[in-house]
Amino acid sequence: MALAVAFWIATSVVVGFLGARLPLTVLLSIARHPWWLGGPKARWYRQRLCIDTWKHRLPEAGSFGGGVSKRRIVNRQHSTLVRLYLETVRAELVHTGLLVIQWLPALWLSPGFVVVPVLYAVLANVPFVAVQRYNRVRLSRIVDIHDPWCLDE
C-alpha cells in the first residue's frame, strides 16, 4: 500500500508538472474541437451535482509548476477570461490523465485492496473534472475560443 501511495504522489506531481508546461496554443487547439465543447449545460451541474455548494472546498493547485490559479478572476478583460478558460481545459486534461493512470496500483496490490486504487482515482479526480467542465461551460458563454485573435490581446 505504501508503494501505491508513493505512486499516487509521484503521478500527481509529474502529470501536474507536465500539464502546466502545455503551451496555450495546444490548449486552444484542444478547446476548439467540437467533442470538447459538448456535454451538459451549467444548469445540469448545478441541479444534478449541486456543484455550487461544494466546488469552493476543493484545493486549487493551478499555479503549481508554472500554471495559473483558477480560484479567482483577477479582472474581466477578455484576454484574462480566455486564459481562465484555457486553464480549465488544462486542469481537466491533468485530472483526466490522472484518472486514467492512478488506478494502476490495483495491478500489484493483493486482491483485498484492489478496490482502493480505483476508488482513490475516482474520488481524487472526478470532482475536479466536474468543476472544470462546469466552469468551462460558464466561461464559454463569454469567451469565443473560435476567434483567431483570442490569445493576442
CA 127 to chain centre: 9
**C-alpha pair distances (Å), 143 with each of 54, 66, 108:** 25, 23, 45
Q: Is residue 145 part of a domain?
A: no
Total domain count, the chain:
1
How many CB atoms sit inside 10 A of residue 47's CB?
A: 11
Window from 33-42, 43-52, 99-108, 128-137 with minimum mean pLDDT:
33-42
Q: Is residue 151 part of a domain?
A: no
Gap between the Cα atoms of 80 and 151, Å rounded: 9
Given this model, what pLDDT does residue 153 score? 43
Q: Is residue 93 part of a domain?
A: yes
Torsion angle defined by CA atoms of residues 124, 36, 60 and 57, in that order, rounded to the nearest 10 degrees: -70
Given this model, what pLDDT does residue 37 score? 67
Gap between the Cα atoms of 114 and 36, Å rounded: 32
Q: pLDDT tens digits for 60-70?
A: 876 665 566 66
Q: Is residue 14 part of a domain?
A: yes
Q: Is residue 149 part of a domain?
A: no
- Residue from 71, 74, 128 nearest 96 by CA: 128
- Residue from 87, 96, 93, 95 nearest 151 by CA: 87
Q: pLDDT tens digits for 17-31?
A: 999 899 998 998 888
Q: Is residue 146 part of a domain?
A: no
DSSP letters, 6-35, are HHHHHHHHHHHHHHHTS-HHHHHHHHTSHH
**C-alpha pair distances (Å), 15 with each of 10, 96, 101:** 8, 10, 10
Q: Is residue 26 part of a domain?
A: yes
Cell numbers found for residue 120:
482513490
Residue 49 domain boundaries: 2-140
Q: What is the pTM of this model?
A: 0.82
Q: pLDDT tens digits for 120-136?
A: 889 999 999 999 999 88
Gap between the Cα atoms of 74 and 46, Å rounded: 24
Q: Is residue 152 part of a domain?
A: no
Cell numbers found for residue 60:
486549487
Q: pLDDT tens digits for 79-113?
A: 788 888 999 999 999 999 999 998 888 888 888 88
